[in-house]
């Protein structure tokens, strides 16, 4: 308020407020101005990158106007906001999305043409913002799009990693990691040097007598690191609402280096503090579904939670409301357990700094937070060692102990006879060293806990959080099945399909109400419509084939069936099952007569995805895929009947090319392991069918699109435990003869040095087959045969695709956000007038 312009001068101010371009002429004007002045380039020195930069800056100007207005509107409206805390936001590219959301892509296309550029080339200059590993980060990005589109007052909070997820190169069939330095030129971020927060680490806790004679605590000493805010605008689709994503960057508190040391000639160590501070936000941990318990990761988590909470509390305090109103103004959603320390930090602020009583503070805290669980896999459930936390966050550990004590006392009162329950549900695991169980802390500190697909939500209620369901009752636990934004995953990635759909539905309303797709079903038998549909799919396959040709040198036939599995490489996702199936196919074709071969539908098996750098088995799977490709793709006897492709460096912008080109995609995790999956939804929405297990959201996809439109196979989640038991303790185990033949081929060196694949083969044959590859192999192979058969009847196949797309309305992230808003956040939209 102190810095606002005085009333008499506001008219002059308003007169000069720019709105940004709307016409082609104005667009060209702005773009050329930015290229010539902001970038200091000229007519004779303007490449595609400069054209991208100028275009991005012209669009940015437009966004900023709405962004500022949105923030003002939200401040004046004085209503509840949502804060989405996620360590990952896998945003991908921003320009194309901004163009479509503000509705000026055609203007830009024509304008760029006038200036001598093709819009596609300009768009593809942008570096992906890859601040995430996989599904969890991309879900957060889809949620931001929906929140803005649906006019919810919402902020995302994350870290401004200097290095996002690494870039993957495949060299001699092995994954090589290259650092992803993405900040060279990033027109979408705004440094807010005036928004800095001091974050404390280490030190000690001093106890003292407070005013009313009560013992108080104060966290003192240690070291201070500064958090600097960087903001990015998040435009909603066809609305003026432009929300904010705030990323925190770390820097040494003094800002500079140690002059004393510098003057003494200790040049290197003089910058030590600064470098140590900057390390906090330097790099995204590249593990997906794996917790490694590293101190720097805990530092990242606290740094980001503390800075975000400081910001949220400061904003609330401006309203001068009573603390009890905090949960009426603030909803904080924890994306997985990574931000769980925010619970402890808010309690600390309320009791140590704002001097509230424990119980009053705790009621505020628990009414503020909601927690989304994204995995039941034990290796992904976060635990922090007590000694580590004691050292880094001594006051927080005390508060965690107090939260735990209060909680256990409550449990004891409720279940006085069940002593074992206390150790089972304690936040502190009595191991060596003791560990803090973050999922329990998140559950105890939140008013709602949700899973991300029905099966997953049922599983968390009956496994990890079973005791908590008896303690709190079933209502605390709920399900919000994941979704995807149709703006990016249909309209942006597959513009022609979006256009065709719009032509039948009489407009693009389906992009904001995806259930309208159901009107498409009546065209599933319309010959003309089906022909156009097929042409679009074919064009999308040609585009992917070109990408494959350009990047791998292998030419694939776009008329072949494209079978795609792109996602992080993980044993539980079972790319190994897929490649073993491919080897089986190869061996089968080799043994076929020419007559039999003629009946086959040619196939291109496409893989893509990154393995965590320390995940050796996942890297072996990549190597096996590449080695099989080496042999199969050069086998003249096979020709177009089978090709095996590894697409390097799978990321969001590649997904936009790959997804629309699929005929069949694979979602084949061991039942009960994939919490939801979201690429399954993207593929179906783009007119591809899927082969999958009864896992995650596959189950709901089946329910929506119908069993006859999906290829399901494999054992069910309820049987997994018994099957694992049988692998370890059973005495008769015979390998399926087809799978046995596959292992014989690998072990005899058909795909190069067999020793490299020993551990992979042994994990299935000798070491318990934890992911049940051998149990599902034969049903997988049979189901793939059904796919072959079905694909031969193109009329029927296309009808299935159209019918499936028409029934995908449920999987929009708009529906998810609506559910979160109603069931968890209790927040209302703020529609711009
Ligand atoms: O593995 C899940 C994936 O199935 C889900 O779709 C995604 C978004 O909910 O979260 C993933 N979980 C993690 O990355 C770690 O919990």
Does the annotation count 573 as an active-site position? yes
The pairing of beta strand 689-693 with beta strand 711-713: parallel
- What is the pLDDT, as a whole number, of residue 1? 45
| Ligand 1 atom 6, closest CA | 677
| 342 and 461 both lie in a single domain | yes
Q: Is residue 753 part of a domain?
A: no
SS3 content of the chain, % helix, strand, coil (to 5): 55, 15, 30
| CB 368 within 8 Å of CB 83 | no
| Ligand 1 atom 12, closest CA | 374
Distance 381 CA to ligand 1 centre (A): 12
Q: Is residue 689 part of a domain?
A: yes
- What is the pLDDT, as a whole number, of residue 2? 57
- What's the Cα-to-Cα distance from 519 to each of 240, 250, 426, 450, 506, rounded to whole Å? 29, 51, 52, 32, 10
> 711 is in which domain, residue-wise?
486-717+736-743+776-812
pLDDT for residue 744 is more than 90 = yes
The domain boundary residue, chosen from 438, 464, 479 = 479
| 197 and 112 both lie in a single domain | no
Name the residue with higher pLDDT: 110 or 766.
110
Does the annotation count 559 as an active-site position? no
| 441 and 538 both lie in a single domain | no
Does the annotation count 543 as an active-site position? no
- What's the Cα-to-Cα distance from 264 to each of 117, 260, 273, rounded to whole Å? 55, 6, 16
Exposed e or buried b per residue across 487-499, where buried means at least 16 C-beta atoms within 10 angstroms of its C-beta: bbbbbbbbeebbe
User: Is any ligand 1 atom within 6 A of the Cβ of residue 336?
Assistant: yes
| 389 and 507 both lie in a single domain | no
Name the residue with higher pLDDT: 272 or 595.
595
Does the annotation count 80 as an active-site position? no
Q: Which residues contact 605 (CB under 8 A, 6 or more apart)?
A: 563, 578, 582, 642, 643, 644, 645
| CB 688 within 8 Å of CB 709 | no
| CB 83 within 8 Å of CB 154 | yes
Exposed e or buried b per residue across 296-310, where buried means at least 16 C-beta atoms within 10 angstroms of its C-beta: ebbbbbbbbbbbbbb
- What's the Cα-to-Cα distance from 380 to each of 336, 409, 429, 496, rounded to whole Å? 10, 29, 16, 39
User: Is any ligand 1 atom within 6 A of the Cβ of residue 677?
Assistant: yes
User: Is any ligand 1 atom within 6 A of the Cβ of residue 678?
Assistant: yes
Does the annotation count 678 as an active-site position? yes
| 453 and 471 both lie in a single domain | yes
DSSP-based three-state secondary structure for 267: helix
- What's the Cα-to-Cα distance from 77 to each of 153, 310, 319, rounded to whole Å? 10, 21, 11
Which atom, in ligand 1's list, is nearest to the CA of 452?
Answer: 9
| 246 and 376 both lie in a single domain | yes
Provide φ and ψ at 200, rounded to 5°: -100, 145
Exposed e or buried b per residue across 559-588, where buried means at least 16 C-beta atoms within 10 angstroms of its C-beta: ebbbbbbbbbbbbbbbbbbbbbbbbbbbbb
Each residue of 674-696: pLDDT tens digit? 999 999 999 999 999 999 999 99
Q: Which residues contact 133 (CB under 8 A, 6 or more apart)?
A: 88, 90, 165, 284, 286, 287, 288, 568
Q: Which of 181-185, 316-320, 508-512 has the lowest mean pLDDT?
A: 181-185
Gyration radius of the chain's alpha carbons? 28
User: Is any ligand 1 atom within 6 A of the Cβ of residue 696?
Assistant: yes
Across residues 281-285, what is the average pLDDT?
Answer: 96
| CB 448 within 8 Å of CB 371 | yes
pLDDT for residue 562 is more than 90 = yes
- What is the pLDDT, as a whole number, of residue 257? 60
**What is the residue-wise DSSP string for 351-412?**
IIIS---HHHHHHHHHHHEEEE-----GGGS-EEEHHHHHHH-HHHHHHHHHHHHHHHHHHH
Cis-peptide, bond into residue 433, ω within 30° of zero: yes
Each residue of 430-476: pLDDT tens digit? 999 999 999 999 999 999 999 999 999 999 999 999 999 999 999 99
Average pLDDT over the chain reads 96
pLDDT-based confidence at 256, cuts 50/70/90? low
Q: Is residue 12 part of a domain?
A: no
Percent of the chain with pLDDT over 70: 99
Q: Is residue 213 part of a domain?
A: yes
**SS3 for 749-788, per residue?**
CCCCCHHHHHHHHHHHHCCCCCCCHHHHHHHHHHHHHHHH
DSSP-based three-state secondary structure for 199: strand
Rounded distance, CA 354 to CA 366, Å? Answer: 17
| 221 and 330 both lie in a single domain | yes
| 655 and 521 both lie in a single domain | yes
| 341 and 465 both lie in a single domain | yes
Q: Is residue 760 part of a domain?
A: no
User: Is any ligand 1 atom within 6 A of the Cβ of residue 139?
Assistant: yes
| 442 and 575 both lie in a single domain | no
Count of domains forming the chain: 3
Which atom, in ligand 1's list, is nearest to the CA of 134?
Answer: 14
User: Is any ligand 1 atom within 6 A of the Cβ of residue 482?
Assistant: yes
Q: Is residue 298 part of a domain?
A: yes
What is the best residue among 375, 377, 572, 673 to mutate for testing ligand 1's pocket, by most ligand atoms within 8 Å of CB?
375
pLDDT for residue 69 is more than 60 = yes
Distance 290 CA to ligand 1 centre (A): 11
Distance 774 CA to ligand 1 centre (A): 25
- What is the pLDDT, as a whole number, of residue 261? 73
| CB 777 within 8 Å of CB 771 | no
Which atom, in ligand 1's list, is nearest to the CA of 374?
Answer: 16
Which token pair is 454? 């029905």
| CB 226 within 8 Å of CB 199 | yes
Which atom, in ligand 1's list, is nearest to the CA of 139?
Answer: 8
- Give, for 720, the enclosing helix (H) or strand (E): helix 717-729
Q: Which of 216-220, 305-309, 377-381 has the lowest mean pLDDT?
A: 377-381
| 637 CA to centre of own chain | 42
Q: Is residue 236 part of a domain?
A: yes
| The one catalytic residue among 246, 568, 654, 807 | 568
| 214 and 348 both lie in a single domain | yes
DSSP-based three-state secondary structure for 154: strand
Exposed e or buried b per residue across 67-85, where buried means at least 16 C-beta atoms within 10 angstroms of its C-beta: beebbebbeeeeebbbbbb
- What is the pLDDT, as a whole number, of residue 272? 82
Distance 820 CA to ligand 1 centre (A): 17
Each residue of 542-559: pLDDT tens digit? 999 999 999 999 999 999
Across residues 699-727, what is the average pLDDT?
Answer: 97
What is the best residue among 135, 339, 380 to mutate for testing ligand 1's pocket, by most ligand atoms within 8 Å of CB?
135
| The one catalytic residue among 160, 570, 573, 654 | 573
Distance 380 CA to ligand 1 centre (A): 10
Each residue of 391-422: pLDDT tens digit? 999 999 999 999 999 999 999 999 999 999 99
| 420 and 317 both lie in a single domain | yes
User: Is any ligand 1 atom within 6 A of the Cβ of residue 375?
Assistant: yes
Distance 156 CA to ligand 1 centre (A): 18
- 71-80 long-range CB contacts below 8 Å, 24 or more apart? 71/244, 73/830, 73/832, 74/153, 74/830, 77/153, 77/830, 78/319, 79/153, 79/329, 79/827, 79/828, 79/830, 80/153, 80/328, 80/329, 80/330, 80/331, 80/825, 80/826, 80/827, 80/828
User: Is any ligand 1 atom within 6 A of the Cβ of residue 452?
Assistant: yes
| CB 429 within 8 Å of CB 437 | yes
Rounded distance, CA 656 to CA 566, Å? Answer: 12
Torsion, Cα 457 462 467 468, to 10 degrees, reads 10
Q: Is residue 769 part of a domain?
A: no
Each residue of 197-222: pLDDT tens digit? 999 999 999 999 988 888 999 999 99
Rounded distance, CA 727 to CA 732, Å? Answer: 9
Name the residue with higher pLDDT: 53 or 730.
53
The domain boundary residue, chosen from 447, 462, 479 = 479
Rounded distance, CA 667 to CA 690, Å? Answer: 7
Percent of the chain with pLDDT over 90: 91
Each residue of 532-544: pLDDT tens digit? 999 999 999 999 9
Rounded distance, CA 12 to CA 17, Å? Answer: 9
CATH number, domain of 433, equals 3.40.50.2000
Provide φ and ψ at 303, rounded to 5°: -55, -50
Across residues 113-135, what is the average pLDDT?
Answer: 97
Distance 808 CA to ligand 1 centre (A): 20
The domain boundary residue, chosen from 452, 479, 506 = 479
User: Is any ligand 1 atom within 6 A of the Cβ of residue 66?
Assistant: no
Which token pair is 603? 């196939």
User: Is any ligand 1 atom within 6 A of the Cβ of residue 605?
Assistant: no
């Amino acid at each position: 308020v102190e810095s606002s312009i005085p009333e008499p001068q506001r008219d002059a101010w308003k007169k000069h407020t720019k709105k940004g371009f709307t016409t082609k002429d104005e667009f060209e004007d702005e773009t050329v101005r930015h290229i010539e002045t902001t970038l200091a380039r000229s007519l004779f020195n303007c490449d595609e990158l400069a054209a991208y930069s100028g275009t991005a800056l012209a669009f940015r100007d437009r966004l900023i106007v709405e962004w500022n207005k949105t923030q003002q509107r939200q401040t004046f409206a004085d209503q509840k906001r949502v804060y989405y805390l996620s360590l990952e936001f896998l945003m991908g590219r921003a320009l194309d999305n901004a163009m479509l959301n503000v509705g000026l892509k055609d203007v830009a296309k024509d304008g760029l043409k006038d200036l001598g550029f093709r819009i596609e080339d300009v768009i593809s200059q942008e570096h992906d913002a890859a601040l995430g590993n996989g599904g969890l980060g991309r879900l957060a990005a889809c949620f931001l799009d929906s929140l803005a589109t649906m006019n919810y007052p919402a902020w995302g909070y994350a870290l401004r990693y200097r290095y996002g997820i690494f870039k993957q190169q495949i060299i001699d069939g092995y994954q090589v990691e290259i650092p992803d330095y993405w900040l060279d030129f990033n027109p979408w971020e705004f440094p807010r040097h005036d928004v800095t927060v001091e974050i404390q680490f280490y030190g000690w806790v001093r106890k003292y007598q407070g005013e009313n004679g009560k013992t108080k605590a104060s966290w003192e000493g240690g070291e201070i690191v500064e958090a600097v805010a960087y903001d990015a605008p998040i435009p909603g689709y066809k609305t003026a609402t432009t929300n904010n994503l705030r990323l925190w960057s770390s820097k040494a508190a003094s800002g500079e280096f140690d002059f004393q040391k510098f003057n003494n000639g200790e040049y290197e160590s003089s910058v030590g503090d600064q470098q140590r501070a900057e390390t906090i936000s330097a790099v995204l941990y590249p593990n997906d579904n794996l917790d490694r318990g590293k101190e720097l990761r805990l530092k990242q988590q606290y740094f980001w939670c503390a800075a975000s909470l400081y910001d949220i509390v400061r904003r609330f305090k401006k309203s001068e409301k009573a603390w009890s109103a905090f949960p009426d103004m603030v909803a904080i959603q924890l994306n997985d357990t990574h931000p769980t320390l925010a619970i402890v930090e808010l309690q600390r602020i309320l009791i140590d700094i704002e001097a509230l009583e424990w119980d009053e503070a705790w009621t505020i805290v628990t009414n503020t937070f909601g927690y989304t669980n994204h995995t039941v896999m034990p290796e992904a459930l976060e635990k922090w060692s007590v000694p580590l936390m004691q050292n880094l966050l001594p006051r927080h550990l005390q508060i965690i102990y107090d939260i735990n004590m209060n909680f256990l006392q409550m449990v004891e009162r409720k279940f006085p006879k069940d002593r074992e329950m206390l150790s089972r549900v304690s936040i502190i695991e009595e191991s060596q060293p003791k560990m803090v169980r973050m999922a329990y802390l998140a559950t105890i500190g939140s008013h709602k806990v949700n899973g991300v697909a029905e099966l997953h939500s049922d599983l968390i209620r009956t496994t990890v959080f079973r005791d908590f369901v008896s303690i709190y009752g079933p209502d605390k636990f709920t399900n919000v099945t994941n979704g995807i934004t149709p703006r990016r995953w249909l309209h942006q990635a597959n513009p022609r399909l979006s256009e065709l759909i719009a032509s039948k539905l009489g407009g693009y309303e389906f992009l904001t109400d995806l259930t309208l797709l159901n009107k498409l079903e009546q065209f599933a038998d319309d010959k003309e419509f089906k022909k156009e549909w097929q042409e679009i799919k074919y064009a999308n396959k040609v585009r992917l084939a070109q990408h494959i040709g350009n990047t791998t040198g292998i030419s694939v036939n776009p008329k072949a069936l494209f079978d795609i599995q792109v996602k992080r490489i993980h044993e539980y996702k079972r790319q190994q099952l897929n490649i073993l199936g491919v080897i089986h196919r190869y061996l089968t074709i080799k043994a076929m007569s020419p007559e039999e071969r003629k009946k086959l539908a040619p196939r291109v098996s496409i893989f893509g995805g990154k393995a965590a750098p320390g995940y050796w088995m996942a890297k072996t799977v990549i190597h096996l895929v590449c080695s099989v490709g080496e042999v199969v793709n050069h086998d003249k006897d096979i020709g177009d009947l089978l090709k095996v492709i590894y697409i390097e460096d799978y990321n969001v912008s590649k997904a936009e090319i790959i997804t629309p080109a699929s005929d069949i995609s694979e979602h084949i995790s061991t039942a009960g392991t994939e919490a939801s999956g979201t690429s399954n939804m993207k593929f179906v929405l783009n007119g591809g069918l899927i082969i999958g297990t009864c896992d995650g959201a596959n189950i709901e996809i089946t329910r929506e699109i119908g069993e006859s439109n999906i290829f399901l196979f494999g054992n069910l989640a309820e049987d997994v435990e018994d099957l694992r038991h049988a692998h370890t303790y059973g005495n008769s185990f015979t390998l399926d003869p087809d799978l046995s033949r596959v292992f014989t081929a690998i072990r005899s060196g058909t795909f190069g040095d067999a020793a490299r694949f020993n551990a992979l083969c042994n994990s299935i044959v000798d070491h318990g087959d934890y992911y049940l590859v051998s149990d599902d192999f034969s049903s997988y192979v049979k189901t793939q045969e059904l796919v072959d058969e079905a694909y031969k009847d193109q009329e029927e196949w296309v009808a299935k695709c159209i019918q499936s797309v028409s029934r995908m309305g449920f999987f929009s992230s708009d529906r998810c956000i609506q559910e979160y808003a109603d069931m968890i956040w209790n927040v209302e939209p703020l529609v711009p007038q």
